[in-house]
Amino acid sequence: MPATSYECAGATGQRGAATEGVLEWPQPFAMHHGGVLERARCAWRLVGRAGAPVVLAMGGISGHRRVGAEDSGWWASVVGHGRALDTSHFRVLGFDYLGGSGDSSAPVRGGAPFPVVSSYDQAEAIGRLVAELGLGRLHAIVGASYGGMVALAVGERQPRVAARLLVVSAADRAHPMAAAWRSVQREIVRFGVERGDAAGGLRLARALAMCTYRTPREFAVRFAGAPRVDAGRGRVPVEDYLFARGESYAARYLPEAFVALSESIDLHRVDVTSLAVPLTAIAVREDQLVPLADMQALAARAPGSRLHVLDSIFGHDAFLKEGELLRPIFAECLEGTDR
Amino acid sequence: MPATSYECAGATGQRGAATEGVLEWPQPFAMHHGGVLERARCAWRLVGRAGAPVVLAMGGISGHRRVGAEDSGWWASVVGHGRALDTSHFRVLGFDYLGGSGDSSAPVRGGAPFPVVSSYDQAEAIGRLVAELGLGRLHAIVGASYGGMVALAVGERQPRVAARLLVVSAADRAHPMAAAWRSVQREIVRFGVERGDAAGGLRLARALAMCTYRTPREFAVRFAGAPRVDAGRGRVPVEDYLFARGESYAARYLPEAFVALSESIDLHRVDVTSLAVPLTAIAVREDQLVPLADMQALAARAPGSRLHVLDSIFGHDAFLKEGELLRPIFAECLEGTDR
């Protein structure tokens, strides 16, 4: 364990201690698209029984190192005791993305420009992290959304880091319509920054993003109520939800980090045609951001890969909402069984 | 003809004069959702041979009274000599929406709040317009997008105004996902207004709207190029297009009018269960804003209606781009033939 790791007070549970720390690299960290990070930092967290096979778990651009249920993490519906990624069987590694809103190297609010972040930069950090923590070859990398893109980048560039990849709703490149939605989100945040209200811009960008994470079918069911006129303007049932989500997001995340990782998604282009790590991919038919055809193209390009197709009213957010649908696929990929 | 009409200089063509004018109503115009318009104005334009059957043509919230090819209008691909709505056979009536960016009653830039606008208000204006111009019963109302919603409102409230309705990509209510997209657009414009840059907000709102008017398939074909890093930030091919369209829109349209008519779409709820005017509806399978299921529900609710389903890579914008696909349906509905 490196000198910068530390036991996390209060996070020691019955199924094994949580350990976390921050690696700091004294040599400049060269970024894929140019520029360097001086004294790059990478915050990580390991949860579960020492000695159990280690699985790195990564999610969307808002994901971070606190992953599972025992951590009240962002993927508590899928990662935890008895869940699809079972912390009784596996030790789970999480980390904060470079360029994100966590404790790894990241933009500073209103600060100097941060270098453009590539999924390859995350892969480089992961390779170093796994080596320096002495974890050997990871049992698997499980990644959804941006985390799935990063998993593919690791597979291409660092094939010895993990024995298998399990990727949900992420392809080897972004779809142009998804890039369109995101480019509007980024421009809204920039507009807010220029007009002195970055958080106001982020609130709107997140509200827009919510429309892309979910599906027309879910909104039709949840927000079927009649529109109304209130205080001289028209209102629709869905808007309270969208802006409440935007508001809460803007209170917790850094606008500059949102832009950096949103760009990173759209810049993502990896070559999986020589992928040497077994890949299991999961597509969601209703996903508006990662269409089934793109997941099929990924599977067609990656030698020996397997593609599973799910149906979910939650679309791109299925990875957060459909733990039970993911369970048998996770079991088969991670444990060679079909629980 | 009312006293306020006038011949439009330079708009007289070989297939008949263009006549336009502005009706002004001295009595307060009571709005459906409350409030009144004092001295309400309604700008209209008639193109084509006097004596030919008159068809009212309406489009999206950016549509206006200059409709067809002879007018360099917004629907030149569909309305004109030899086109789907053939100005050799029909006289075409256009008007500027109440609350829009034209010469009818509308919000004033940075001015006092304008009453909330309903599709029923447009219907009321149309009823008066047709009566005061002495046009008798219209041969048809052809409406696409918001114009289709207004056509349905006329059908419910003013069944004697037109002998038939031809509606493209518009239902009896808005879909909650489409309402979600639009509520974000309106909030962006309000954000711009609050931050002293209404046009900047409208630019972003229109860029977002473009993503909903078109389809993932079209963007995948047009914007398949690789992303790039430029001046320290990531860029995707689609964004130049989106923001150029947004920019040009913001230069021509009033932010307050955009918000008023966008709200009007989402407030639209008409009752077609007793519709007494024959209805032909056209759905576009790829439309992200008006899903096929909503057009099927419209047709199921409206007695004796007919539904045609088209496929178009242009999605909601098919009504602007697919004149050839529309032609036989228009011919059958308007002329009882299938050209």
Say whether pLDDT at A15 is over 60.
Answer: no
Q: What is the pLDDT of residues A217-255, one digit of tens each?
A: 999 999 999 999 999 999 999 999 999 999 999 999 999
User: Which residue, A79, A106, A91, is CA-closest to A168?
Assistant: A79
DSSP 8-class letter at B269: B
Q: Mean pLDDT for chain B?
A: 94
Q: What is the pLDDT of residues B211-234, one digit of tens each?
A: 999 999 999 999 999 999 999 999
Annotated catalytic residue A316: yes
* Count of CB atoms situated within 10 Å of the CB of A328: 14
Share of chain A above pLDDT 70, in %: 94
- Three-state DSSP class for residue A9: coil
Provide the terminal-to-terminal Cα distance of chain B, rounded to the nearest Å: 34
State how far the Cα of A29 lies from the Cα of A40, in Å rounded to an integer: 6
Q: Can you say whether residue B144 is alpha, beta or left, with left for phi > 0 and alpha for psi between -120 and 50 degrees?
A: beta
- Three-state DSSP class for residue A94: strand
Looking at residue B77, its pLDDT comes to: 96
Say whether pLDDT at A135 is over 70.
Answer: yes
Chain-chain contact of B229 with A116 (C-beta, under 8 angstroms): yes
Amino acid at A32: H
Looking at residue A2, its pLDDT comes to: 42
Annotated catalytic residue A145: yes
Q: Quick one: CA torsion of A28, A31, A34, A36, rounded to 10 degrees?
A: -20
Question: Chain A residues with CB inside 8 Å of B183's CB?
Answer: 235-236, 238-239, 242
CA distances from B188 to A208, A254, B66, B214 (A): 10, 19, 29, 20
* Count of CB atoms situated within 10 Å of the CB of A247: 15
Looking at residue B338, its pLDDT comes to: 56
Phi, psi of B42 (to 5 degrees): -140, 110
Concatenate the DSSP letters of all residues of B287-336 into one string.
-SSS-HHHHHHHHHHSTT-EEEEE--TTGGGHHHH-HHHHHHHHHHHHHS
Say whether pLDDT at A12 is over 70.
Answer: no
What's the CA angle centered on B133, arms B130 and B135, to 5 degrees?
60
Looking at residue A7, its pLDDT comes to: 40
Whose tokens are 């972003």? That residue is B204
Is residue B261 within 8 A of residue B142, CB to CB? The reply is no
State how far the Cα of A116 lies from the Cα of B230, in Å rounded to an integer: 10
Looking at residue B16, its pLDDT comes to: 59
State how far the Cα of B187 lies from the Cα of A192, in Å rounded to an integer: 13
Closest CA of chain B from A328, distance in Å: 31
Closest CA of chain B from A124, distance in Å: 19
- The arithmetic mean of pLDDT across residues A70-91, rounded, is 95
Looking at residue B336, its pLDDT comes to: 83
Q: Mean pLDDT for chain A?
A: 94
Q: Is the pTM of this model over 0.80?
A: yes
Interface confidence (ipTM) of the complex: 0.94
3-class SS shares of chain B: helix, strand, coil, % to 5: 40, 20, 40
Chain-chain contact of A242 with B208 (C-beta, under 8 angstroms): no
Chain-chain contact of A211 with B177 (C-beta, under 8 angstroms): yes
Q: Which of A121, A190, A236 to mutate to test the interface with B (most CBs of B within 10 A)?
A: A236
User: Which residue, A130, A184, A176, A174, is CA-closest to A152?
Assistant: A174
Q: What is the pLDDT of residues B273-284, one digit of tens each?
A: 999 999 999 999
Q: What is the pLDDT of residues B245-269, one digit of tens each?
A: 999 999 999 999 999 999 999 999 9
At B165, the pLDDT band (50, 70, 90 cuts) reads: very high
- The arithmetic mean of pLDDT across residues B56-84, rounded, is 96
Question: Chain A residues with CB inside 8 Å of B226's CB?
Answer: 269
Q: What is the pLDDT of residues B299-333, one digit of tens each?
A: 999 999 999 999 999 999 999 999 999 999 999 99
Q: What is the pLDDT of residues B31-58, one digit of tens each?
A: 999 999 999 999 999 999 889 999 999 9
Question: Chain A residues with CB inside 8 Å of B188's CB?
Answer: 188, 204
**Nearest CB to A184 within list B242, B266, B291:** B242
Is residue A200 within 8 A of residue B201, CB to CB? The reply is no
Closest CA of chain A from B212, distance in Å: 9
Alpha helices per DSSP H over A223-254: 237-252
Share of chain B above pLDDT 70, in %: 94
Looking at residue A338, its pLDDT comes to: 55
Say whether pLDDT at B2 is over 80.
Answer: no
**Nearest CB to B211 within list A177, A222, A227:** A177
Is residue B105 within 8 A of residue B78, CB to CB? The reply is no
Annotated catalytic residue A266: no
Q: Quick one: CA torsion of B126, B127, B131, B135, rounded to 10 degrees?
A: 60
Whose tokens are 């709820």? That residue is B269
Is residue B171 within 8 A of residue B155, CB to CB? The reply is no
- The arithmetic mean of pLDDT across residues A95-105, rounded, is 97
Which is more confident, B85 or A109? B85
State how far the Cα of A185 lies from the Cα of A69, in Å rounded to an integer: 30
Active-site option among A32, A139, A308, A316: A316
- Structure tokens of A67? 């992953």
State how far the Cα of B156 lies from the Cα of B172, in Å rounded to an integer: 10
User: Which residue, B275, B61, B289, is CA-closest to B173?
Assistant: B289
**Nearest CB to B216 within list A33, A177, A207:** A177
Chain-chain contact of B222 with A192 (C-beta, under 8 angstroms): no
- Three-state DSSP class for residue A317: helix
Looking at residue B110, its pLDDT comes to: 78
Residues 6+ away with beta carbon under 8 Å from B114 = B99, B106, B107, B108, B256, B260
